[in-house]
Amino acid sequence: MTLEKQVMSADVVETYVPIMKEGKMIGVFEIYYDISAEKNGLRSLARCSTGELFFLAAVLLMVMVMTMRIASAMAEEQRRMAGVLAESEKRYRTLFEHAGDAIFILERVGENAGKIIEANRTAAAMHGYTLKEVRQMRITDLDSPNAASEAARMIRRILDGEWIKAELRHRRKDGTEFPVEVSAGLLELGDQKFILAVDGDITQRRQIERARENLIQDLLDAFDKIKTL
Give dist(CA 177, CA 151) in Å, integer.
17
Q: Is the pLDDT of residue 178 over 90?
A: yes
The mean pLDDT of the chain is 80
Cβ neighbors of 176 (< 8 A, separation 6 or more) are none
| Prediction pTM value | 0.57
CATH number corresponding to 100-210: 3.30.450.20
Which residue ranges make up each domain of the chain? 1-34, 49-98, 100-210
118-173 confidence digits (pLDDT tens): 999 999 999 999 999 999 999 999 999 988 888 888 989 999 999 999 999 999 99
- In this prediction, residue 107 carries a pLDDT of 92
- In this prediction, residue 172 carries a pLDDT of 95
User: How many CB atoms sit inside 10 A of residue 54's CB?
Assistant: 10
44-63 confidence digits (pLDDT tens): 655 666 666 767 777 777 87
